[in-house]
Structure 1
């Protein structure tokens, strides 16, 4: 067992749980942050099902907006995995409600890490901070970690996309000025699928849930870069451990699937389920988004395929992501087993 201590924010989330389990399996001591300690027992019980090292995790209550608490929590910490970020299922009326906590929470953690001699902070950002706010010419090219979303382009961004971009940009700005020796690495996942461990699931799992529960009659012509949650957790740990990851950004994607592709994978393995196969005309997708608010944020991807180079993490960190099919099918299997879909 190593004696390294990792502070992990947002431990109760979809990605937070998987990352905690993998860290514990590697022998780390994990301190997981929760907005409310009442959930600690339930979270520990889930973790115990997946690792024999659950005795090495403890929980603390912390709010991203609080400043003082982070100075206490980062004492004697070697690494920070900053995963917590507001990602509501319904967009707030004021986008500042998303942007401000994402930005200030990130800066609160970095300031405390710098003051307390933490070696490296790994921030879970998003592919959203690379591939939006683009002109038509820019959309024709393949994007990579050197590209940034233009958050001032309101036509090709949403409040969530702007919040992830602004938070990550503010983190890099902080590191450029910091003189403590603190290292930063950011990981930028696409839509995260894979096995759900509890019924408080990640937002991306809705893609699979809505295709399997009969609530989606037809498919919008929209696609995503997708990655398995276990592969993201693996990349977060590589980004934390490996010297070559210092002060780098890494895209996490296994590839691109449309709603139609995902539905076809699900239908092949669940022939008895009523899974849609027909695509919706664009005008109906736009009309539907007035009733299904989950569609609103993804309308900017209607008929647009954003091309991404995913080779950096594979080449530099020897990352081997699980397949797209595994990400989709393991998500479907878990939501069925947990009774999220009947």
Structure 2
């Protein structure tokens, strides 16, 4: 993505955020996750809280559990139902309200997938192969490029456009997906709808939250054992933090370039305390790594206390979780059916 494209995306994001502040009820959000494992503290800091805030402001919210997308880049998919319900449990514990947010599973909305065929007619193979996520996931999987991974950006475009979402909260690394959805919307409107706006061009609501790394300084990944799950107990959290990588200096300072592991721990604590990393570093001072780790452990455990209590209540009632998901599936399917009918109408396929 060029600097000009990024600057334009940031400008659109700022304009959308200002509009949400004024008239939140005029906007619809699409967001979600792949159910590849339990959510961790990085998810909570970077996305869960902001989704709840948008919902609470009055933005019409659609929250996707992208179960079909689990199979895009892996042979072993694990227990998808359990992972899906775990995801739903954390959504509810964080404050997403099924009465105000439509929480649904991708595979339960067949009309959504039907939209992929006309959408695929609007993009080239070269455009799909240039997508950064496709290239990164292909490299990480060490497998031949599958048709499903190649068309992954169009899956995401369909996720966004089926409900005509106009805002999509993302980090900067996910901007290419929103840009692809904008291209699909624009081309569909031009080619099949004679310039009439059937699909709005969605805007990325860019999350400027600093990326939280794992406790070893690398990207958070369950397979690396460097994550703190939202489902972890306080003792489990403390155990993981005790093993966190630091450095040999005895005085704590916030210096992301020279002391990235220390800076990451301070960033995590900042996310849960509301105090800046620099202020926290001054508080720890000469206490060293042990004092820093105690600070981080206390910040996470206190910050997640209510979440974990609520999570335990929801997790104990599997029947309620399934009922909530099925209700959300039905609501999403009704929206998708209306969109598909409109698409068939403009494409002259109503027979």
TM-score bin, normalised by smaller chain: 0.3 to 0.5
Q: TM-score, normalised by structure 2?
A: 0.37
Decide which structure has the larger Cα Rg and report it.
2
State TM-score, norm by structure 1: 0.38
Instruction: Name the structure with the higher strand share.
Output: 1
Q: Which of structures 1 and 2 has the larger relative contact order (alpha carbons within 8 angstroms, sep 6+)?
A: 2
